[in-house]
Amino acid sequence: MSTQAAFSNFKVLTFDVVGTLIDFETGVLEAVRKIGGKKAAEFTDEQIFEPYKRGRDKHYERSSEVMFHVYRHLATELGLPADDASCDVFQLSVLRWGPFADSVEALKRLRTKFRLVAMTNADRVALSCYAHALGNPFDDTVCADDTGVAKPNPEFFAYNKGRQSAFGYKQSDILHVAQSQYHDIGIARKLGYKVCWIERRQGVAGFGGTPAVETLTKPDFHFPTLKALADAAIGPAKG
């Protein structure tokens, strides 16, 4: 079977957005170091990510609102400026997290063959910013405001399954594409989806800004970048 033939049974690609298409780790690090100045520059990436994740666990609600408090938690732990103005700068930076270098072009190619659906824990405000930055590639979007829950809650996937069925698509038509083993790959595979792991941190130690898992779930497809997925499913970009 050719590489492209392996994707021929799928009609829908569902995407995790933040971490898979949008480079939130770079966004977090750049904002913290800009706000924190010289002291923040002394911290390693992991020293920043750990309190960030603890803050996000504590403030798990709508990302366009609670990142103010996530930053305050992080800054207090690290001894960085935690005043309202600093927290507000971080909150605004979240809406400006940018795409990975390959995301826009790869999504444009993938859209020629598949229905593209965003499945994100971001809220509607944040998702609208990310979709715009990505060139508005999605045929449909599902976010935490719609579902009332966040991945890895199975109800998130059930909501989308029902939504796509209204358009005539079955679960077997769907390939779920994501970076996070914790939020996406493990639970989607458990629920019977075919999954594609975009291992954005390939070759980098640790789990960065996403929660760790004890055991990695083996995906059906595995690529280091979205470009590599598009090359395999569509063929190399022309020109």
Q: Which residues participate in catalysis according to the annotation? A: 16
Burial class (CB in 10 A: 0-12, 13-18, 19+), 33: middle
Is residue 7 within 8 A of residue 175, CB to CB? The reply is: yes
- Crossing angle of the two packed helices 63-78 and 124-133, in degrees rounded to 10: 90
Residues 123, 234: Cα–Cα separation, whole Å: 30
Six-digit token string for 233: 């499913």
Is residue 120 within 8 A of residue 143, CB to CB? The reply is: yes
